Chain A
Amino acid sequence: MKIFTATLFLLWASIALAQENAAPKNTAQPTIMVVPFTKANDDIRKTLDADPNRRVAITKVKEAFDNRGFSTIDFVAKLKEAETRQVFTLENQTDIKTQIIEFSGADIYVEAEAIMQKSSTGNSVEVILTAYDASTATSLANKVGFSGKFYTEDFGKLTAKAVESVVEDFLNAIQAKFTEMLENGRFVAVEFSFSADSDLRMSTEIATEGLPLSDLLEVWMGENAFKGSYHIQGTSDMKVIFDQVRIPVKDASGAAYTTNKFALEIFKYCRKISKAGDVKVGVKKEVKGNTIFITLT
């Protein structure tokens, strides 16, 4: 009886384990926030209060995401939260939108612009929808919608019509980009720099490798970026910026491959680099959204 019970238990355990391994792991979804378009010196808070058409445009775009079963970060709620937490600094009053996007932690932001057009042959609204990767500023999708001309002063309705004419196509374009990410990896940015007290420079030759530090980092990036895909924005003696590095969406086990995991791989590699006198390089890593900051000492 005991043997039978033990066998039954082992059988159940093995089935449960097999089911757990077979179950697909949930991929961490990117966070998306819809924001109104603003010009360089506009105060986004006042603009949004004063222009209901922008609110209509944002709401209709959010509605389209909701219809596809995808929740977005609410811009107005984040704005209020940021104000409550006194996130906005005096120095950056003219760039509040960027601060909100950073504060929200959104991976992607969708900018919605509504342009009213009045004419003797009818009024219309044109909307411009653009989706950006928040960390790399890569454009993911761009669409222009038009309401058509009507003899009406209800620009809110015209705005809604203009958004409806194009928003599903816009979402399909973003989805095509997501498919491309699954196949070719998603973008992160990596910035290497030095602490103030560091004697290292990008031109410092690492004796054990026989290469300058900047070349060493580039070689590593080529070997570890997904499908070897990366782009260098710029190199100086104090800094190297890889503005577009591809990393896989999932790791080998099917779990989400986060920016932090990649940052950890960079960290572990940099820790192995030796300066003169066989002293290991000091490393600090910081991750903000999809941007990795590595500071070497």
Chain B
Amino acid sequence: MAQITIKDLSLKDCNLTERATELKKAYFRAMPEVCVERSGLITRFHLENNLLNKDRISILDKARAYRFVLENRAPIVWHKRSYQKGMTPFEFKDNSFFAGSTTSKFKGVPLYPEFLALTLWPELLGISDRARNPFYLGKEDAEDLNLKIFPHWMENNLLELARKKYHPPEMKILERLVFFLASKPNCISHTIPDFSKAINKGLRAVIDEAKEKGAKATDAAKKEFYAAIPEALEGIIAYSKNLAKKAKEMADNEPDPTTKKELLDIAEVNNRVPELPARSFREGLTTIWLCWTAIHLENPNVGLSLGRLDQILYDLYRKDIDNKVITIDQAIELISCLWLKIGDHVPTIPDAGEQLFGGTGSNQAITIGGVDKEGKDAVNDLSYVMLRATELMRLRDPNLNARYYHGINSDKYLRRLCEVNVNTGATPAIHNDKAVIHALTKKGDKLEHARDYGVIGCVEPNSNGRHYGSTASILLNLTSALELALFNGRHRHTGMELVISKETGNPASFASFDEFKKAFEEQARFLIDQSTKLNNIFGRIHQEFYPTPILSALFEGPMDKGRDIIQGGAVINSSAATIIGLADVADSLSAIEKVVFEEKSCSFEKLIDAVNKNFEGSEALQKRLMNPDKTPKYGNDDKLADANVKWIVKTLDRAFGEKESYRGSKYRVGYWTMTNHAGFGRLMKALPSGRKDRENFTSGITPVSAVTPVLTKSLNSVAKQPPEYLSGGVALNLKYTPETGDMEKMLDNFAASVKGFVDYGNGNGTGGMEIQFNVTTHDTFVDAVKHPEKYPELLVRVSGYTAYFKDLNPQMQKEIIDRTEYLLSKGNYVYYEPFNL
């Protein structure tokens, strides 16, 4: 257990240095630029080595491809210019402690033609000018993509390889887009690598270990695996040494002695790590940074996460502080520079994707605090240093997640987490260790592994660096299961002529609520069956065409098993789905139960007719359905409503849990929605809950907005849901009015609300799993819609990840504005009229 030596936990006397301030300014000024370096080099290697249009690609060939890219990419120590709004160039001074970048640009958009980069093809001529989130793309680069890169991947991207090889009928359901989405055609990702070996032993030691194990292996597949690891890691070492060489060249020509020294320092650090063990905090951070850039050459960054950095780096930090090698201010400056580097790229998203996922970063989560493997307090000085850097930088990426074990972690720590939320408006998210550890052990994780969980992407807990949980394999729109149950296997979006699934009967003929629940469960199971089958096909395509030597080298398990993580090499394996529309479906079920079957005040036929007409002519019914005093609504500590939520999460956990993944493991389920609740909401018609056509669904595990007036009741409804059914992670989004007049009181109330949530006496005594906040006034949000230029750094929690409000699409902005807002001093919500777009 680390001793806390920092006296003022807020570290309020530590501020941003000039270096961090200037780099941050450039960061916010810069527009993302499409980078063709990776896609060009990877295409060239595949063509020169005849790897395309084959039945498989071996892990050794992939490792050689990444080595080629890493050895041949430009070693950019510091950037000099970028593009600003209006796509005009600007120059700035880059003097980061960390050389290199994810792309060849200061803020780049890496392209992965093996995955979904080709979706950008139609936009190449106009992507610099598109209305929302434009990417700068030079004419020559656009021409290279059009003529030299994309054509070679038309038959060789993973989505089309799956279609050609397996002809999956489930693909038609996927391509309707309204039932579920699959992430595997877009990424491996959604996991946390293990950096500890790279930091403590160095990559040279891993290479030697692989060679030794390869020499002893008799199995051909294992031999190939162990041969691939050195290839990939030599590439990372080469990239670092190329950066060192370049820094030395720059230093030789640098007249300013301060800058010269900084360049020589970079050269020295990069010459050593990640090849050899890190000796200092800075070398540890550099090791992580260089491994991270290499992982991103292999894996599109969709929720790839860095894990428990305050634990992994603590010894190096402690040693440097104790030996007075660095001060706390310098540590914060180093971390601030690393945070900026981590956010140096944005994901590739086509225009329509912006409407579903608009404003998303790459969701790189970092985890701090909680308990260690033995269950002891793991919060240390570095946890507070990282909190302060986060508070000062207010960046979208990385997405900071704080673990909190009530009774083990201190009250002061919790209060500090609340304070940073107030000061940043949106971060960190708070995870209840007791509930999460319970959920993971119930899925079979060893206790010490469960205690060592890190948060992935948005909110998903997996054991740090040893669990490949592929946590966003499936994004399932649960309201589509409800739709299929309401309309006898048909969906209003795809037309009533088309029978999508099994006909479960006309609900008007059902004699009981249980009959309807049965129909709903059957339709949900249909979608689960379709989506898991398709996910397994995509998983096999990964195994055949996209081995991952870099990620496997930096993971616990593959080196022992001699097997890639996508082949099941990790210590713990699972796949996971996340559910969109939980509260909307639960409230619909409750409405049906109460109004149709209990009270019999409205027939099922009449209810279906009303939703079909978007409640036109049935306004009184709609009003009644939306009224929590008359119709049970989740989020009011209402027995009937909360029981329906519990039934849903239990049913889905069981149904997914029965499915086996392509890696021989089971599926887990989570409730976090990114921006999908707005995207799917846009496609879906009215529901029995009283929600009207095209309105947003509710995010994550959060109750529906504006129907939950009392904060404690809302928290209780969520906290009582059993964590064992929520092992894929949940996002509870709350909005608090900033009451900065009496900050101390605000923080007391804030912390009390979290304690009440995590301490809720549900069956297992675990409390609710996760809670995250927006602490910004309604008026500020409304003004930010009108004047986005005034709020470039306005940070918000979406459903899991953090985003800049200005980058979100209008529907998502509305969803955040309309979320229930609570006044902590009163414990009640503040009512606002729904925001008009």
Task: Verify that A and B bind, or say they do not.
Answer: no
Q: Which residues of A contact B (CB under 8 A)?
A: none
